[in-house]
Amino acid sequence: MLQEEKLVTLLSDLVKINNDRIEGYKQAQDASDDADVKALFQHMINDSLKYVGELNLLLRAQGADAETDTTVSGKLYRTWMAIKTTFTGTDRYALFSSCEYGEDAVQRAYADALSMDVAMPYSMREIIGNQQANLKEAHDTIKSYRNVVSQ
């Protein structure tokens, strides 16, 4: 596969995982009745919308179309989360645990992207690295919320 094709695939995958994140947090918002939780999840959605915009600019710079899809595994996860919510209700611990699981998947996707054997312009690596760092903070926030409600 050519380097350009690898970059396009890498960027498309990161857009898809962020689109998964957006859809997951929308679903989590719907599962919560708490204004503070809804606000936190909206912040996570807004961050991923920003990242999708940045990544799609990079895709277009590579001559590719903007990505709008989600991953198959993300769709399956959201379906599972919807079923789980039906049985567990809107328990904050279960909700934050599910969100943390999603954040773990995002971290893996970004780590994989940055460790790929592909020539990547420094500016692109910097954007992806900054997004990963911000997403790590979001992961830690979700984890701390989960830990607080488990006490």
User: Tokens 């645990």 label which residue?
Assistant: 97
- Of 50 and 102, the structure prediction assigns the larger pLDDT to 50
> What SS3 state is found at 119?
coil
Q: How do residues 8-32 score in pLDDT, each as one tens digit? A: 999 999 999 999 999 989 988 988 9
User: For position 71, what pLDDT does the model report?
Assistant: 76
User: For position 29, what pLDDT does the model report?
Assistant: 92
Cβ atoms 136, 107 nearer than 8 A: yes
Q: How do residues 51-105 score in pLDDT, each as one tens digit? A: 999 999 999 999 999 988 877 766 665 665 665 555 555 688 888 988 998 899 9
Cβ atoms 81, 98 nearer than 8 A: yes
User: For position 22, what pLDDT does the model report?
Assistant: 93
% of the chain exceeding 90 in pLDDT: 64
Alpha carbons 119 and 25: distance in angstroms, whole number: 33
Residue spans of the domains in the chain: they are 3-149
pTM given for the model: 0.89
User: For position 148, what pLDDT does the model report?
Assistant: 94
Going by C-alpha positions, the residue among 10, 17, 9 that lies closest to residue 106 is: 17
Average pLDDT over residues 133-138: 98
Task: Give the CATH number of domain 3-149; options: 3.40.720.10, 2.60.40.1110, 1.20.1260.10, 1.10.1200.10.
Answer: 1.20.1260.10
Q: How do residues 68-79 score in pLDDT, each as one tens digit? A: 887 776 666 566
User: Tokens 């995958």 label which residue?
Assistant: 13
> What SS3 state is found at 63?
coil
Q: Write the CA distances from 41 to 4, 8, 12, 45, 46, integer angstroms.
A: 34, 29, 23, 6, 9
User: For position 133, what pLDDT does the model report?
Assistant: 98
